[in-house]
């Protein structure tokens, strides 16, 4: 199949998790900052939030709403410069081969979109730092509120798997034909089930047995995708 649109997840898909995703990495920096002051109790609470997110405590829509509320609250007062520090660290995880593959797909005039339940500013800054942001027509995630050089909170607009699917339907005219989706986790499943060409990112090949009953193709790196779609 020659597709016309590729919809990408972000965390764990456009870069590998080693071991934290971008939001967890930002929370970790916030926790370290608070440990140096008089907010050690809050720092311990943030550690629990990171742990819960890593172990998929927040999978249902109500729990995802709770996570976004707690995430926003935890980041209040965080210097906005932390966003650039996280972006620098995570962009370095995107290999030269993967960057080349993204440019190759873009050069084929494929429409590429990012739809993520993560943080808008992290998605944008990481892709910019990696030199691949221009490959994407649009990046849709949850924006932060920034004021006077600090994070003041966040706006929750892409909370659940259903939100991702709803936006994908809107951006494709509700037509899955010729649409590829690339994802790696539970918030991607409804979208992968809807598109014509579902692709699961599986770096350690641990997901093939879990999703054996699904008509997914599996890749271990972005660099495999241009050849797969030829």
pLDDT score for 1: 62
Q: Which domains does the chain have, with CATH numbers?
A: 5-228 (3.40.50.1000)
pLDDT score for 126: 98
pTM over 0.85: yes
pLDDT score for 3: 85
DSSP string, the chain: ---SEEEE--BTTTB--SS--HHHHHHHHHHHHHHTTT-HHHHHHHHHHHHHHHTT---SHHHHHHHHHHHHHHHTT-BTHHHHHHHHHHHTTS-HHHHHHHHHHHHTT-EEEEEEEEEHHHHHHHHHHTT-GGG-SEEEEEPEEEETTEEEEE--S--SHHHHHHHHHHHTTT--TTEEEEE-SGGGHHHHHHSSEEEEE-TTS-STTTTTTS--EEESSGGGHHHHT-
pLDDT score for 88: 98
The per-residue pLDDT string of the chain (230 residues; one tens digit each, 9 = 90 and over) reads 678 999 999 999 999 998 899 999 999 999 999 886 657 778 889 999 999 999 999 999 999 999 999 999 999 999 999 999 999 999 999 999 999 999 999 999 999 999 999 999 999 999 999 999 999 999 999 999 999 999 999 999 999 999 999 999 999 999 999 999 999 999 999 999 999 999 999 999 999 999 999 999 999 999 999 999 97
pLDDT score for 37: 61
pLDDT score for 17: 92
């Amino acid at each position: 199949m020659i597709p016309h649109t590729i919809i990408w997840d972000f965390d764990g898909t456009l870069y590998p998790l080693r071991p934290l995703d971008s939001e967890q990495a930002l929370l970790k920096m916030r926790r370290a900052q608070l440990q140096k002051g008089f907010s050690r109790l809050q720092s311990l609470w943030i550690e629990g939030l990171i742990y819960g997110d890593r172990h998929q405590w927040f999978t249902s829509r109500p729990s995802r709403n709770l996570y976004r509320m707690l995430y926003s609250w935890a980041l209040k007062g965080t210097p906005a410069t932390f966003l650039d520090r996280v972006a620098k660290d995570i962009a370095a995880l995107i290999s030269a081969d993967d960057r080349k593959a993204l440019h190759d797909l873009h050069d084929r005039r494929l429409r590429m979109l990012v739809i993520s339940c993560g943080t808008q500013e992290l998605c944008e800054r990481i892709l910019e730092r990696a030199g691949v942001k221009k490959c994407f027509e649009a990046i849709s995630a949850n924006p932060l509120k920034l004021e006077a050089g600090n994070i003041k909170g966040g706006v929750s607009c892409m909370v659940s798997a259903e939100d991702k699917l709803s936006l994908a339907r809107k951006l494709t005219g509700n037509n899955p034909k010729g649409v590829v989706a690339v994802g790696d986790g539970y918030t991607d499943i409804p979208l992968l089930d809807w598109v014509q060409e579902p692709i699961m990112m599986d770096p350690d090949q641990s997901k093939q047995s879990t999703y054996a009953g699904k008509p997914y193709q599996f890749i271990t790196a972005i660099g495999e995708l241009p050849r797969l779609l030829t």
